[in-house]
Chains A and B, each alone.
Chain A
Amino acid sequence: MNSYHDPELEDVLQDDELRRLAAVLSTTRLPEPPLDDAFRTGLRRQLMHEAWAMTEGRPSWWSRLFAPPGLAWAGAVAGVLLIAAVAVWSATQQTGGFNTIFVASPIDGNRNVALQQPILVSFNQPMDHQATEQAVQITPATTVAYSWDANTLAVTPVGGNLAPNTQYQVTIGPGAKTASGKQLAAPQTITFVTQAAPSPTPAPSPRPTPSSALGEKELATLGGATAPTVQWSSDSSSIYFVDGKGALDVVSVKGGAVTAIAADGASSPSVAPAGDRLAYIRAGKIEVLTFASGKTVEITPSTPPVLVGWAKSTVVWAASNAIYTDSDGGPAKLAALPATGAVTVLSISPDGGHAAYRQDQNLLVLDLATGMSLQLGQAGAKFAGWSPDGTLLLYSTADHIVVADTLGVTQSTLPAGDASWSSQDAILLGSDTDIEQVRPDGTNLSKLSSGTYHSPVWAPDGSSFAFIRGGGLWVAVAPALPPQPTAVDEATTVVKAFMEARLKGVGDQAGTFLDDTGKKDYATGGLSLLITGDPRFTRYYVVTAEQVATQPDTVRFVVRLVLTRGKIDVAAYEETLVLVRDATSKHFLVDHATGGPQRDLGKGAAVVSVDVAADTIKVTFDSDLDPATVKDGVVLLDSKGRQVDTTASYANRTVTLSGLDLKEGSQYKLVVLTTVRDVLGHNVAAEYDLDVVGPSPKKHGNHRVVVVSPSPTASPSAAAG
């Protein structure tokens, strides 16, 4: 343990002392240097200032038009002549400066603009600040502040961020004029669309658990055994292991005496999937112990076995030349191993379908059904484990672990470590210094505890795990699992794929996300899978999502489809999609879809999202509102149409109804009346009704629990509820 292993340096650090020094260098971390936060933020500001200067200094499209690289020499000469002519003409003008005012913005035309930024508007010459600011018009109605940096105007919403999922049109009207007094010839408009609101802050990663909290205890000493041979009983109550003398022992996870099953010479213990038998190698034979009877049966292979596993209830073993299984007629060859090179079988998969082996420096996986081998990763890759069902495997490279299928196709990568994959899809990564847990897709990495955790092995029920520390066998209580994606998260992925296919006009692909009733809705329910015509379908966003049932998982979405004419979003309508998890495939499919009426955009404030908790409802608009119209304009009704007592407050485009006590599963209706006005005095174009279900506090990660039924049609379910 006192040397440094790095394949990159194996050839240059050949001496133990050199490797020891390398270990010291790589395992200590120098203290973080002193850092002045003001420096960090100041440098950032300086860089952004420079970025502005670069954008302004960058040749504009009109000057690039005349750039020589794009033209033949004759063109360049013509350009020079043209510029000279323009210069002469300009010089004869009375107003001085440039005659054409150009307006540009880095976000013009962008359809994915981040919410936390000012709207930058650049001019090609110095402007009269006051006149230009007064000439700015913004749709939707937004109260803004102005600041200038040279010829660039920064327009910042007073409320902070831009509204999510919103098309902004910023028009510089003819009132804008240059510092020398020349007016803008015609209004110029910058158009862009903002991103969706960020997801709610995910729960912070759990803090490392103190070792004591994992209930760690040493069960046995391994007597110098180095290769991990830990096998759990199927009921997770005891652990089988081979000690340094070759004795096959068993010990209860509760502690107590270690019992020897075989006194010496044992290796490769393997518990049958049913948990009724234990196979191991001893003296060139395979011994199979049946727990219930205490009897041992021997299998005598012709070639000495090196590794034992199970395929369901049948013993499978590896010898130097092939993988064999037990059959009525004696040992039967399942698949041959390569006859060339140094071949070592490393592991048989839990389902007995594959074996991992090394051939010289290469790691390969052998399909026992077909006899085909595939290399995993590059030379030097090391086998690191299987998924519990044997369909995926782990191997390690120089600096990380790869999750791959049995065809060697990479699924994800994980940090390096000794890995164990639990039946609940949590992967432990142990090392000299700590233990971490991660999901197989690489998400939710969290450090569980510091200390030495070698060769962790999950108990079959995931309640605890065994590990090796300091020559002893230890056990620890399993930590809380890293969070799973919620049903809403999974269904959201399907909705996005469904909508993207429709957006691209690929009807066949979109159809794959529909079940039979979903297909019927789009075939006969007055809904179109592909939206054609003018204005055209250009974007969509999820207004809200709610898990409405759990058996089967059912998630209801309201998706807004935006229709655009030219560059301008002119109308939108909503579809309510109900997705149900398929019992067989476990994937969500659209089971039911209904459409709402088309609404014009740009005519008064519109609701862009609604968040519901038991005591508050937050309704976010795209426009700044006249606060005086909020109290009577945004109301909540119960299932009988009576107004619910609530306190309405307003800040930053969001109306918050507080003091509520929504009952889980009860139906409510949120109503936004046409009396609500934006800061420019425009009323909401049409009443907006939303069916709201009282949220369940138990629904994990269910952050938005409302259903929007497009107005003005009242929802029958709400009326009946």
Chain B
Amino acid sequence: MPSLWQLVTTFKGRSFEPAQAERPVSDSSRDEERELVERAKRDPHQFAALYDRHFQQIYRFVYSRVREQTAAEDVTSEVFMKALKAMPRYQDTGRPFAAWLYQIAVNAIADRYRTLRPAQPLDDFHDLSVAGPALEDVAARRDEVRRIWALVEALPHQQRTALVLKFQEDMKIEDIAVVMGKSAGAVKLLIHRGVTRLRDEADTLRPVE
């Protein structure tokens, strides 16, 4: 019987393959981004290139937090509009430009949902389907994966944000720290607490070897 790991990695290979944009950014790509940023600072029209480059990841991140299309559209609009207006004041600190956008997004979401919790149930995770060859117990394993993500959704807001930025957006701890306005140590603590809480609440999710 395949282990959960094997199934999960099968999932990744078959249907959850990371997009190219999520690959580690090469030096040349970073240089290209710096150039785009410099241009946009000089001429707001050039912001279009940054928008095209980062729209998808920011929208995806925002949606993962608010889980409702209209709200995701509102927040995404706010993020890019704020970024455009603040562009002349943007300082390159060596972090990816996206980290700044995530930071604006995190703040915008916090402002919007300061008192509310996203209400959308986790039915969206039914899309965690497997397109690969049929395996006997794929459905059961898929349920487990879905339940882990369901537990993530129930985590405190900051733990959830840290986990999503780390594990879904593949960001470095230091960049997440900038985004969340915390120290790297504090981010690690959030991740540790988040994963520990998942472990404590997921007694039924033992590995199947």
Contact = CB atoms under 8 A, between A and B. Distances in A.
Contacts of B5: 1-2, 20, 23
A8 B172 contact: yes
Contacts of B77: 43, 46
Interface of A: 1-2, 8-9, 11-13, 15, 17-18, 20-36, 39-40, 43-44, 46-48, 50-52, 54-55, 106, 399-400, 410, 412-413, 415-416, 432-434, 442, 450-452
| The 9 nearest A-B residue pairs measured at CB | A29-B16, A433-B13, A51-B44, A33-B63, A31-B127, A25-B167, A12-B192, A2-B5, A399-B24
A427 to B, nearest CB: 14
A51 to B, nearest CB: 4
Contacts of A40: 55, 59
B188 A27 contact: no
Interface string B38-61: 000001110110011001000110
A665 B18 CA distance: 47
A25 B195 CA distance: 9
A33 B196 CA distance: 28
B99 interface: no
A29 to B, nearest CB: 3
B14 interface: yes
Interface in B79-124: 80-81, 84-85, 124
Contact of A43 (B80, B85, B163, B172): B80
Nearest to A401: B24
16 contacts: A9-B173, A12-B188, A25-B168, A30-B64, A34-B69, A36-B73, A40-B55, A43-B51, A50-B81, A54-B84, A54-B85, A399-B172, A412-B26, A415-B23, A433-B10, A433-B13
B168 A29 contact: yes
Contacts of A34: 63, 69
Given A8-B173, A47-B51, 7 more contacts: A18-B192, A21-B202, A21-B205, A26-B166, A28-B16, A43-B51, A50-B85
A24 B4 contact: yes
A626 B85 CA distance: 45
Contacts of A1: 3, 5-6
Nearest to B127: A31
Contacts of B191: 9, 12
Interface in B160-209: 163, 166-168, 170, 172-173, 188-189, 191-192, 195-196, 198-199, 202, 205, 207, 209
A43 B195 CA distance: 36
B137 interface: no
B69 A33 contact: yes
B63 to A, nearest CB: 4
Contact of B45 (A8, A24, A46, A48): A48
B128 to A, nearest CB: 7
A9 B18 CA distance: 20
Contacts of A13: 192, 195
B24 A433 contact: no
Contacts of A400: 24, 26
B37 interface: no
Contacts of B196: 18
